[in-house]
Structure 1
Amino acid sequence: MKSALVASIAFAAAVKAAVQGFDISHYQPNVNFAAAYNAGARFVIIKATEGTSYIDPSFSSHYTGATNAGLIRGGYHFAHPGQSTGKAQADYFIAHGGGWSADGRTLPGMLDLEAESAGQCWGLSASAMVAWIKDFSDRYHARLGVYPMLYTNPSWWTACTGNSGAFVNTNPLVLARYSSTVGTIPGGWPYQTIWQNSDSYAYGGDSEIFNGSLEGLKRLARG
C-alpha cells in the first residue's frame, strides 16, 4: 500500500510539472537571455518568418543570444494561409531559421495560426484551411522528420478549421489563452504541449509554459 501511495504521489507531481518559457520577435529587440535563464526560463520560441517574403530582422541575433544563454530554442512562422501554398511557406520557413535537428536544444518549428489584416480565416473555408495546414505540416515533416507545433487559440481554431481534430496524433499544440487556467482545449487534443498564458513576460514577449518536466521538454526537442 505504501509503495502504491508513493507511486501515486510521484505521478501527481509529474503531471503538475511545468517549465517556464517565452516567445519573442523584433518587437523585443533587446532581450536579456541570461537573466531570463537565471529566473527559471528554459526555452524560447523566436519569430523567424511570415509568408514567403518576410524574415524577422531580429531572428539571427535572438537565436544566437538564446543559444549562448543555454536556452532550448526554436523558430516560428506566422502563417499567411491561401496567399501561397503551405508547402511553399514551409520551405521558406526552413530556409530562414525554421530548421530542426535532434540535438536536444532545438524545438520543432512552430506554425502560428491566427487572424491578421487578411481577415479572420484568410478567405479560406474550414476544409481549405485544414488542407493548407496539412500541406505545410506534411512538407515540414517530409523534409525534417518531425511535425511542426501548431499555435492557435480556441476561437480561431473553431471558426477557421471547424474545430478539426485532424492534427491530434501528429502535431503538438501550443495553446494561446491569457488566463489563470488552460480552459477548454480545441481540436480534440487531449492536452496542450505549451500554454501561452500571458502576453507579458518579465524578460520580453509572451509567457509560455511547457506542460511537463525539463526532461520532457528535452524529449520534445529531440523529436
Structure 2
Amino acid sequence: MPAYSSPIRRLVRPRGALLAGVLGSVAALLVTAAGPAAAAPPGPDRPVQPGQAWMGAGTRIEQGPPPSAGGEVSTMDTSGVQGIDVSHWQGAINWGSVRAAGIDFAYMKATEGTSFKDSRFSANYTGSYNAGLIRGAYHFARPDASNGATQANYFASSGGGWSQDGKTLPGVLDIEHNPSGAMCYGLSTTQMRTWVNDFYNTYKARTTRDVVIYTTASWWNTCTGNWTGMSTKSPLWIAHWGTASPNIPSGFPTWTIWQYSATGRVSGVSGDVDRNKFNGTLSRLVALANNTA
C-alpha cells in the first residue's frame, strides 16, 4: 500500500519527510538562482541548448566526446606562453589569481549565433585586462542560423572589436562540430567555405583585423572539403587534446594557438578549464595583439 494513502495521513506527514521536502525546495531555488555558471556544462546526456555552447562542445573525430571531469589524459605542456579560454560555465573568476598562476593570455566567449551574448563576458573581459592579461573575445559560430556576415557584425558589435593597446587580441571565429545537430550544420562544403569567407571579410571590414579561426582538423577537413583558402589569412587556433603534437587542418602551415587540454586546472578558476599554448614568445603575442606581427 502506498505511503500516506488516507486523506488525513497525506496532510500529516512526519517531520523528517516535511523537512526533507523543504530542504529540497530550497536547494532547487538556490540552483535556479545561481544560473548556468553554477551548474556543470551539458554532457552526452544533457544536450547543449542554443547559446550554451563552449569551445570544444562538440564530438571530435580525433578525441571523441568532450571529457568528463578528470577523464582526459593530457600532456599538459605548461611551458612557454600559457593561456586559458572561458565562458559563463566557469562562473566568477579571480583573474588576479589566474595571472599569478602564470597565465599570460585569455579568450572569453562573447557571442553565439545571432542573438546570444555570454552573461560573464563583460566581467571576464574587464577583469582579465585589469589583472594584466592579454585578452580577446570569441564567437561560437552557428552556420545554420544565418549567413557569416550577419554573425560577424553581431560579434563585432557585441564585444568582438579590437583596439591597438597591446592587450587586445583579434577576435576568434569558433567553428567546430555542431554540439546539437548535424556535424556540418547542414551546409555543403561549398556553402561552408562561403560562410567562413563572409564572416572573415565582414569582421576585417569592421575591425581591420584578420579573424583567428578556432577549429579541429577533422571538422575543417570534412566540412570545408580540405579548403586551403584561409591558410594565408587567418591565424590558426587548433584544438587537439591529450597529444604531444596536434593535427593541423589542410592548408594551414602551422598553429598559432594550441588548445591542448579541456580538463586543466588553474588557480582562480573553479573546476576544469581549457588550457592553451601560444606558438612563440610573449613579445610575439604582444605583436599579434598590436597587429605588428
Task: Give the structure-2-normalised TM-score.
Answer: 0.69
In 1, Cα distance between the equivalents of 2:235 and 2:130? 26
Does the 8 A contact of 1:82 with 1:132 survive in 2? no
Is 1:219 aligned to residue 219 of structure 2?
Answer: no
Task: Quote the offset at 1:39 in angstroms.
Answer: 1.5
Distance 1:40 1:209 in 2: 12
2:89 partner amino acid = Y
Matching residue's letter, 1:79: A
What's the CA shift string for 1:124-180, capped at 9, x where partnerless? 011110110000001011111111100001111111011211101110000000023
Matched, 1:187 2:250: yes
List runs of 5+ in structure 1 lacking aligned partners: 1-16
**Secondary structure of the structure 1 residue equivalent to 2:84:** strand
Aligned mates of 2:259, 2:246 — CA distance in 1: 12
Counterparts of 1:5-154 in structure 2, within 5 Å, are 18-114=80-176, 115-154=178-217
CA displacement at 1:200 relative to structure 2? 2.0
Structure 1: distance between partners of 2:236 and 2:283: 18
Contact 1:182 1:195 (C-alpha < 8 Å) held by counterparts: no
Compare relative contact order (CA 8 Å, sep 6+) and give the higher one, 1 or 2: 1
Return the alpha-carbon distance in structure 2 between the equivalents of residues 57 and 31 of structure 1: 13
Task: Indicate yes or no: 2:233 matched with 1:196.
Answer: no
Cα distance in 2, alignment partners of residues 125 and 33 from structure 1? 41
| Secondary structure of the structure 2 residue equivalent to 1:164 | coil
Q: Report deviation, 1:122.
A: 0.4
Q: Quick check: which has more Rg, 1 or 2?
A: 2
Runs (4+) off by over 6 Å: none
Q: Which residue of 2 aligns with 1:155?
A: 218
CA distance in 1, matches of 2:247, 2:183: 21
Q: 1:116 offset after TM fit, Å?
A: 2.1
TM-score, structure 1 length as denominator?
0.90
Give the length in aligned residue pairs. Answer: 207
Structure 2 Cα separation of the partners of residues 184 and 90 of structure 1 = 27
One-letter code of the match for 1:155? S
Matched residues, percent identical?
A: 47
Q: C-alpha distance in 1, partners of 2:206/2:183?
A: 29
Which of 74-83 and 181-190 deviates more? 181-190
Following the alignment from structure 2 to structure 1, what is the Cα–Cα distance between the partners of residues 205 and 147?
Answer: 15
Q: Residues of 2 paired with 1:118 and 1:104: CA distance?
A: 38
